[in-house]
Amino acid sequence: MQAIGIDFGTTNCSASVYRDGRIEFIPLEGERSILPSTICITQNHEVTFGRAAIQRYLTLTRETPIRYQFTDLREFTSVFEEEVESREFIESDHGLVVVSSAGGEQDLETPARLFQSLKTGLRDPNFHGTTVYEQYYAIEELIGLILRHIRERAEAYLGEPVNSAVIGRPVSYAPSERPPSLTVEQIDETAHERMLAAARIAGFEYAALEFEPVAATRHLQRDLESGSRALVFDFGGGTLDLALSQVAGTTPEIIATYGMPLGGDDFDSAIMEHSLLKHFGQGTTLGPKELDFPENLLAPLLHWQTIPLLATPASMAHIAAIKRQSNAPQTVTNLQILVRQGLGFQLFQHIEAAKIALSDHSSAQISLHEKGLDIEERITRTAFVSAISDHLVQIERALLTVLDQARLAPEQVDTVLMTGGSSLVPAVQGTVRRVFGADKVRAADPFMSIVAGLGIIAAQDDICVPVAGIVSSATEARLKAEAVTIGERVAFQRGQRTVEGLVVRRAGGRLHDATLVIEFWDDEMQQFVSTMRHETKVTRLKETPTDHAPTE
């Protein structure tokens, strides 16, 4: 059976196999070897991946009207409509009129769910999974869907079973801002076990994780002199990973590694923030008091993945109310069209194209004329560099950090190999050259160096371990908690106290079957109180019920 290498990225995935002394890239979507890391799940649980998933989601959401429920708390009456522009009383934030989904459950109002950037979910120990149209998916199950698709495509390409995979991982999963209660080691351990569990779910029998820049080093070192020191600078869509090694035989000796959650997606967001938000309300004012445009309506626009969050009835009603107060209503109309017509992904495609064009030209034009949205904006390279200046500082600090860990000066590094799509940005290359010198910096294949190295490691190194028994600790806790039955006693934390109570039901039936409704005796109130707790937040008890045990 064949072993393959898989580069599971924040933005894209790829896979390779090393056989007969050469690397082969496996087609994952038609003839394309690069698959966007996206999943679309429809109400009938039809699952699509990659570009097809994005197109399926956008098509379905554009064709589905929003149905609003308006509840006037002054008269305790509700009405349902699909139009908000004509309702003069709408002020969704003053508490008198509540605007919500007409269906009660958000899932019932959306024809499909789109999942993207799943890699970032690995690093959040507090995010276990989500319910999609009455079916619960743990984060490793969602990732497992993509990995299974990759495995099946690999088997179709190779004509034989694939039971092993070496999967790339960043040097660190930990975000730049993390809860003080979590260490970097805890975050990395959680992400590591979740990815191995996802490999099991995908049907692999054996798997291993390898640092992405280490894999790139394995592929690229063939062109380096033995004994030389090389730094792999891997700058992708979501992370910057560095690996400093000494070339020795077929396996490089890794001296130091460093990683941070910074990538090309952040550059796209910088263009949006500094050059395009003005087309959607930024800088405009509201009403005679000239109030600032609400920040909570602008923040989701910085990433195409979060723009659909504004397509809720409450948000759309809020936008409609703001439009009537705005001194530039056309910009709010632009915002309405962008959100309702699902044009966020398309706009960011134009932003990315402009970013790429700026690598070769001093300026680039962003033009989007679609479904009533007319955007024209020229971006200069000077303005772009200014917008990402803080990120460039972060990159230079990362370079100095990995050098400090290796206890080396820049002049002691012989070669810098730049890979990852975002490494093509001239300002990024300029930063690296300024630290190490232009003569040492070399460009490698920006998209396939990592997966090529992973394929070599999968074929030559015996590092894969059995994954049959691997279940992430979060999922293991949830599965264990699912054994909790109605009428069973449990303990849970309420503030600083440990409280015991009785499980009386599961909230919402199958839609929320991971949530328990618990009744307990409150000593201060001298009465039974009801609370809701996720199953992973309770501990099962075997003690005999106390005198205050509630009855069903």
Query: DSSP string covering 199-256, please?
Result: HHHTT-SEEEEEEHHHHHHHHHGGGS-TT-EEEEEEE-SS-EEEEEEE--TTS-EEEE
- Domain CATH code at residue 496: 2.30.30
pLDDT at 227 over 80: yes
- Mean pLDDT across 34-54: 93
Q: How many CB atoms lie within 10 A of CB 378?
A: 12
Indicate whether 353 pLDDT > 60.
yes
pLDDT by residue (tens digit) across 139-177? 899 999 999 999 999 999 999 999 999 999 988 887 666
Task: Report the pLDDT value the prediction gives residue 416, as an integer from 0 to 100.
Answer: 94
**Domain assignment of residue 161, yes or no:** yes
| Residues 141, 191 within the same domain | yes
Indicate whether 251 belongs to any domain.
Answer: no
* 469 and 498 housed in the same domain: no
Q: How far apart are CA 113 and CA 524, in angstroms?
A: 44
Of 173, 219, 162, the C-alpha closest to 195 is: 173
127 and 195, same domain (yes or no) = yes
- Closest to 337 (Cα-Cα) out of 353, 324, 320, 314: 320
Residues 171 and 192 in one domain: yes
Same domain assignment for residues 457 and 491: no
Residue 498 lies in a domain: yes
201 shares its domain with 132? yes
* CATH label of the domain that carries residue 175: 3.30.420.40
Kind of pairing between the strands at 373-380 and 538-540: unpaired
CA dihedral 456, 241, 238, 224 (to 10 degrees): -50
Same structural domain, 467 and 504? no
**SS3 at position 36:** strand
pLDDT cut 70: percent of the chain above it: 86
Q: Is the pLDDT of residue 414 over 50?
A: yes
Domains: count for the chain: 2
pLDDT, average across residues 451-474: 90
Q: Are residues 154 and 206 in the same domain?
A: yes
For residues 406 and 398, is the Cβ–Cβ distance under 8 A?
A: no
545 within a domain of the structure (yes/no):
no
Q: Specify whether 214 is located in the same domain as 148.
A: yes
Residues 139 and 190 in one domain: yes
| Domain extent for 536 | 484-540
In a domain, 320, yes or no: no
The answer to whether residue 305 scores a pLDDT higher than 70 is yes
Residue 496 lies in a domain: yes
Same domain, 186 and 159: yes
Is 7 exposed, middle or buried, given 0-12, 13-18 or 19+ CB atoms closer than 10 A? buried
Alpha-helical regions (H) of 274-406: 295-298, 313-325, 329-340, 344-357, 381-387, 389-406
Question: Tokens for 377?
Answer: 């904006």
Residue pair 311/66 in contact (Cβ under 8 Å)? The answer is yes
Are 140 and 207 members of one domain? yes
Whether residue 81 has pLDDT greater than 60: no
Alpha-carbon distance of 245 to 220, in angstroms, equals: 11
Residue 526 lies in a domain: yes
pLDDT over 80 (residue 269): yes
pLDDT attached to residue 392: 97
What is the pLDDT, as a whole number, of residue 550? 45
**Distance spanning both ends of the chain, measured CA to CA:** 56
Name the residue among 541, 545, 550, 485 with its Cα closest to residue 522.
Answer: 550
Q: How far is residue 32's CA from residue 490's CA, in Å, rounded to a whole number?
A: 52
Q: Is residue 494 part of a domain?
A: yes
Q: 109-145 pLDDT, tens per residue?
A: 678 888 888 888 887 777 777 878 877 788 899 999 9
Helix (H) / strand (E) element for 109: namely helix 106-109
